[in-house]
Amino acid sequence: MKRFLATALAFAFLALSIGSPSTARDDKPAPMRFEWRLEGPAEQCGAHCRTWISATGVITEDTARAFEAFARANNVRGARLVLDSEGGSVLSAMALGRAIRNFEMTTTVGRTTLLPSGGNNVPRATITPNASCESMCAFILLAGTRRYVPTEARVLVHQIWLGAKSKRARETSYTADELQLVQRDVGRLVRYTAEMGGSMELIETALRVPPWEPMHRLNADELRRMKITTVDRLFEQDAPAPAVAITTPGPITTSAQGQR
């Protein structure tokens, strides 16, 4: 019985591969970048203006390294990471997720919007829930020690495919080497999900949706059941902002788009 279950799981996971359809799009969306943001307007939050890290864009093969560089330059431990991403590289997403967990960060889904400059050197911003966390972004979201998904935010999942073959997934042939690579990386994803305390239902749900169909949006019950949402708010009510120095250099960005 155990052998049958293991075999069935392995074959089911063949559909889960090493690239997201978003990584193969012709318009080449921008790679993920990380930026410290400070809450505003200043006259509203006063001495309790909160801070967070905005993580926006596609996960490429360089994203995890870009985050490591960002973390070396900034005190990110315990910070809040606000995600708005179409997904991307499986291996880089897992590496990024493990780094996020090591820094005991809180993760959420949201869109960071800069406010008009008030004449000082520190830009202010707001967070709105009008954002999406798609494909491998859901597994990055899983990496937070605290995880919050606003009701209006969208967490969408589907089968993750070979990036170069996602457009014609049904007509394209696949080699034995590609299938072997898929199985190896899916095994890593299963282990990662377990490490993060996630539910196997998350992967099972993703496997039900092929890349030629619309992605499945996880509802509030699924988010709780799959252990993606663990807290009811992003910021503790009336808690003061952490002492973080906000500077204005250009954001650290990834520089290349990868298929793995």
Judged against a pLDDT cut of 60, whether residue 157 lies above it is answered with: yes
Average pLDDT on 148-176 reads 78
Judged against a pLDDT cut of 60, whether residue 11 lies above it is answered with: no
pLDDT at 158: 87
Percentage above 90 pLDDT, the chain: 54
208-236 pLDDT, tens digit per residue, is 888 788 999 999 999 999 999 999 999 87
Average pLDDT on 87-106 reads 95
pLDDT band at 165 (very low <50, low <70, confident <90, very high): low
28-74 pLDDT, tens digit per residue, is 689 999 999 999 888 888 888 999 999 999 999 999 999 999 999 99
Judged against a pLDDT cut of 50, whether residue 4 lies above it is answered with: no
Judged against a pLDDT cut of 50, whether residue 241 lies above it is answered with: no
Average pLDDT on 127-154 reads 96
Inter-axis angle of helices 176-195 and 200-207, to 10 degrees? 140
